[in-house]
């Protein structure tokens, strides 16, 4: 008996000591082992592509660059962005921890999320890229022009560029790429969405794209991986299955080693076409090593300990932890936002009173706190973040503030309606299923929403959790009710909004199954003009209508970050070949062309 007391007395404090050290809040890891994070690769960052949604997480973070209230000023340097890329120093290796491995490096065939895009940008160059102002300029393209109705786009390539295998980049290369892209698992969807009919080379450097219907936002698609990342078509056609292990692009680096789930190494390309503004041959780095590290805490620890010298994250909690370290933070607070959707084809969510009532009872601020994002994430009211050029106050004003009594009143209207769509008797509670993937932060957010909804005494909330693949499958199969999801991104609004608003019978992207021809007509009109003010007004109206119909809810924007050793420079202030500053690091993705190590 005495022995047992001694054993227990020794055991408990030792266990607690281990747990405390492991879960400590200083510069070490979080205690979560997010084995499910490896599947984030199923989604793609919105990079001007027509792929609508990203990971179905319900909103992680929106970073401000300020430390959290009440905390000591972190030693972290939050970098000032928007200074032009400075002249660099040659040499060195950047080793960056990614949140997931790339499924593959075939732009036409393999889905490419943030980690993959970081890799792809070292091997391939895009035809177009997004500037800091949000528009699109040529990267490999020297210029692009449209005809009057935006159905024919004429692109002129820069001269003198070769692929890494020595083959010249010509307009015919782009045309030959199209033949492969038409059959690609990923590219074909993009081509179908934008109704791209043909791609022809009219001379050595001139490519003509012909669309079935006008699209003023077409250049944004040429900034995305599936259509815009240029690969050598002959090499791809010769061995499509293995091209991802020997990719050929025009990028600043070439693939040296591909050890899947461990490391991918790219080394400086000998014949890269770009020079810096001061004439320096680019790139500066000798190599870049990409290490997929799914666990957030381990990824941060790897960067802090020097196992890697950079890391990316799409999680607010990790942004918060990384701020406490000596790493330099490049945070991006963009339009990518978490939240969820109501399946308007399912009772009782087909009734606008129910959706509006539930939305009014959704306390977004509390959800943000539950997600651990207070001080990091801002309240979201529309498809765009407040820093986006598309954001409008009019749209913001239509998103409901938390109004519990107002929500109850709307639900009561439905409950008292003898013709209520769910067929239940007057006075009976409504049934709602709320489903999110099994992420610890999402579970906390779900529970906040569930508690508020259930607290109305009007709603029976059934919480369900499925692994990410099943969660996505349920959405695609319309087997969802209130469903966690993620919206928007930094690309052109049409890329995400048009599929979202199109006829649900035709468009996979209209996951809420909300058919509103009037709103869709606004979306179509927005790509029939290139007048920015006109487009902005149209998107404002679209967001107002989405808010009024209460199709989706928001749980705060998503802050992402690239955290690096302070010696690494030119991380977020990359420039286009024209000298225009790029858009920065949305979704923790950047270009490595001008990056350098200052301690070489």
Partner 1 sequence: MIKTIAFILLRLIATLLAVTFLTFAMVALLPGDPVDTILGTATRDPAVEAQIREELNLDDPFLVRYGNWLGDAVTGDLGRSYITSQPVADTISQRLPVTFQLAFMSIFMSVLVAIPIGVMGAYKQSKWQDTASSAAVQVALSIPNFIFGIFLIWLFAVQLGWLPASNWNRFSDGVVDNMRTALLPALALALAQMAVFSRLIRSDMISTLQENYILSARAKGMSDRYILFRHALRPSSLSLMTIVGISFGALLGGTVVIETLFAIPGLGFSLINAINGRDILLIQGITVFIAVMFVVINTIVDLLYAVLDPRIRRK
Residues 538-557 that bind partner 1 (CB under 8 A): none
Torsion of CA 113, 118, 123, 128, to 10 degrees: 80
Residue 316 binding partner 1, by CB under 8 A: no
Residue 509 binding partner 1, by CB under 8 A: yes
What are the phi and psi torsion angles at 482 (to 5°)?
Answer: -100, 120
Rule CB under 8 A: choose which of 66, 82, 192, 238 binds partner 1. 192
Residue 57 binding partner 1, by CB under 8 A: no
Tokens of 563: 């955290």
Rule CB under 8 A: choose which of 126, 138, 283, 294 binds partner 1. 294
Rule CB under 8 A: choose which of 88, 92, 297, 339 binds partner 1. 297
d(CA 172, CA 193): 23
d(CA 414, CA 265): 59
Shortest CB 20 distance to partner 1, Å: 10
Tokens of 339: 């939240």
Residues 8-27 that bind partner 1 (CB under 8 A): 8, 10-11, 14-15, 18-19, 21-24, 27
* Cβ distance to partner 1 smaller for residue 30 or 544: 30
Rule CB under 8 A: choose which of 57, 295, 490, 516 binds partner 1. 295
Using the contact rule CB under 8 A, the part of the chain among 60-68, 101-109, 135-143, 408-416 near partner 1 is: 101-109
Q: Is the distance from CB of 86 to CB of 521 less than 8 angstroms?
A: no
Q: Is the distance from CB of 194 to CB of 50 less than 8 angstroms?
A: yes
Residue 6 binding partner 1, by CB under 8 A: yes
d(CA 430, CA 422): 8
* Cβ distance to partner 1 smaller for residue 306 or 427: 306
Q: Which of 327, 266, 313 is nearest to 589 (CA)?
A: 313
d(CA 588, CA 569): 15
Rule CB under 8 A: choose which of 67, 91, 111, 134 binds partner 1. 111
Residue 117 binding partner 1, by CB under 8 A: no
Size of the site for partner 1 (CB under 8 A): 84
Q: Which of 496, 551, 509, 553 is nearest to 381 (CA)?
A: 553
* Cβ distance to partner 1 smaller for residue 362 or 496: 496
* Cβ distance to partner 1 smaller for residue 113 or 559: 113
Q: 265: exposed, middle or buried (C-beta count within 10 Å: 0-12, 13-18, 19+)?
A: middle
Residues 439-498 that bind partner 1 (CB under 8 A): 466-470, 472-476
Shortest CB 29 distance to partner 1, Å: 6
* Cβ distance to partner 1 smaller for residue 370 or 527: 527
What are the phi and psi torsion angles at 9 (to 5°)?
Answer: -60, -35
Q: 554: exposed, middle or buried (C-beta count within 10 Å: 0-12, 13-18, 19+)?
A: buried
DSSP string, 512-564: T----HHHHHHHHHHTS---HHHHHHHHHHHHHHHHHHT-EEEEEEEEEEEEE
Label the pairing between strands 196-201 and 206-211: antiparallel
Using the contact rule CB under 8 A, the part of the chain among 144-152, 185-193, 522-530, 538-546 near partner 1 is: 185-193
Residue 44 binding partner 1, by CB under 8 A: yes
Residue 130 sits at the vertex; the CA angle it makes with 125 and 134, to the nearest 5 degrees, is 180
Using the contact rule CB under 8 A, the part of the chain among 302-310, 456-464, 545-553, 566-574 near partner 1 is: 302-310
Torsion of CA 272, 99, 555, 366, to 10 degrees: -130
* Cβ distance to partner 1 smaller for residue 308 or 585: 308
* Cβ distance to partner 1 smaller for residue 221 or 356: 221
Residue 35 binding partner 1, by CB under 8 A: yes
In order of 102, 335, 436, the CA distances from 500 in angstroms are: 26, 16, 20
d(CA 523, CA 543): 10
Rule CB under 8 A: choose which of 436, 449, 452, 511 binds partner 1. 511
Residues 559-578 that bind partner 1 (CB under 8 A): none
* Cβ distance to partner 1 smaller for residue 101 or 378: 101
Shortest CB 253 distance to partner 1, Å: 20
Residue 239 binding partner 1, by CB under 8 A: no
Residue 152 binding partner 1, by CB under 8 A: no
Tokens of 275: 């020079």
Q: Is the distance from CB of 401 to CB of 318 less than 8 angstroms?
A: no
Rule CB under 8 A: choose which of 71, 261, 397, 428 binds partner 1. 261
* Cβ distance to partner 1 smaller for residue 299 or 379: 299
């Amino acid at each position: 008996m005495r022995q047992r007391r001694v054993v227990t007395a020794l055991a408990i404090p030792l266990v607690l000591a281990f747990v405390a050290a492991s879960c400590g809040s200083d510069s070490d890891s979080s205690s979560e082992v997010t084995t499910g994070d490896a599947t984030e690769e199923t989604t793609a960052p919105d990079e001007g592509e027509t792929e609508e949604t990203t990971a179905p997480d319900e909103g992680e973070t929106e970073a401000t660059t300020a430390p959290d209230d009440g905390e000591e000023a972190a030693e972290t340097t939050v970098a000032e962005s928007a200074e032009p890329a400075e002249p660099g120093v040659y040499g060195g290796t950047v080793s960056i921890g990614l949140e997931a491995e790339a499924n593959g490096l075939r732009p036409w065939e393999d889905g490419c999320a943030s980690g993959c895009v970081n890799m792809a940008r070292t091997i391939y160059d895009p035809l177009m890229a997004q500037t800091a102002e949000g528009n699109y300029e040529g990267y490999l393209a020297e210029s692009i022009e449209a005809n009057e109705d935006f159905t024919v786009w004429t692109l002129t390539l820069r001269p003198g560029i070769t692929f890494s295998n020595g083959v010249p980049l010509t307009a015919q290369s782009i045309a030959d790429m199209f033949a492969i892209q038409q059959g690609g698992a990923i590219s074909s969807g993009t081509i179908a969405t934008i109704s791209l009919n043909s791609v022809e080379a009219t001379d050595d450097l001139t490519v003509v794209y012909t669309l079935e219907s006008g699209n003023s936002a077409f250049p944004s698609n040429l900034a995305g991986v599936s259509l815009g990342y240029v690969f050598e078509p002959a090499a791809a056609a010769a061995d499509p299955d293995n091209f991802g292990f020997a990719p050929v692009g025009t990028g600043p680096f070439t693939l040296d080693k591909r050890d899947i789930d461990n490391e991918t190494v790219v080394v400086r390309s000998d014949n890269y076409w770009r020079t810096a503004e001061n004439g320096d041959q680019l790139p500066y780095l000798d190599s870049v090593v990409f290490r997929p590290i799914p666990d957030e805490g381990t990824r941060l620890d790897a960067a802090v300990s020097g196992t890697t010298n950079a890391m990316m994250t799409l999680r607010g909690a990790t942004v918060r932890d990384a701020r406490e370290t000596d790493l330099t933070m490049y945070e991006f607070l963009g339009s990518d936002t978490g939240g969820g959707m109501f399946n308007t084809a399912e009772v009782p969510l087909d009734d606008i009173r129910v959706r509006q009532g539930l939305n009014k009872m959704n306390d977004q601020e509390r959800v943000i706190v539950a997600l651990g994002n207070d001080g990091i994430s801002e309240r979201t009211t529309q498809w765009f973040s407040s820093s986006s050029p598309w954001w409008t106050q009019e749209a913001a004003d239509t998103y409901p503030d938390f109004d519990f009594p107002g929500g109850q009143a709307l639900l009561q209207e439905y409950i008292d309606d003898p013709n209520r769509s769910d067929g239940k008797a007057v006075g009976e509670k409504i049934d709602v299923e709320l489903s999110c993937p099994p992420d610890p932060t999402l579970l906390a957010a779900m529970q906040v929403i569930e508690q508020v909804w259930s607290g109305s005494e009007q709603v029976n909330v059934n919480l369900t959790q499925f692994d990410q693949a099943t969660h996505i499958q349920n959405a695609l199969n319309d087997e969802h009710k209130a469903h966690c999801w993620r919206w928007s991104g930094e690309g052109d609004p049409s890329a995400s909004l048009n599929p979202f608003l199109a006829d649900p019978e035709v468009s996979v992207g209209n996951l809420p199954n909300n058919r509103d021809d009037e709103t869709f007509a606004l979306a179509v009109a927005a790509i029939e003009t290139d007048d920015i003010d006109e487009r902005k007004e149209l998107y404002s109206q679209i967001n107002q209508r989405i808010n009024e119909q209460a199709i989706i809810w928001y749980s705060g924007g998503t802050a992402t970050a690239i955290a690096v050793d302070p010696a690494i420079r030119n991380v977020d202030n990359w420039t286009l070949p024209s000298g225009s500053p790029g858009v920065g690091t949305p979704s923790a993705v950047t270009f490595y062309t001008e990056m350098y190590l200052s301690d070489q």
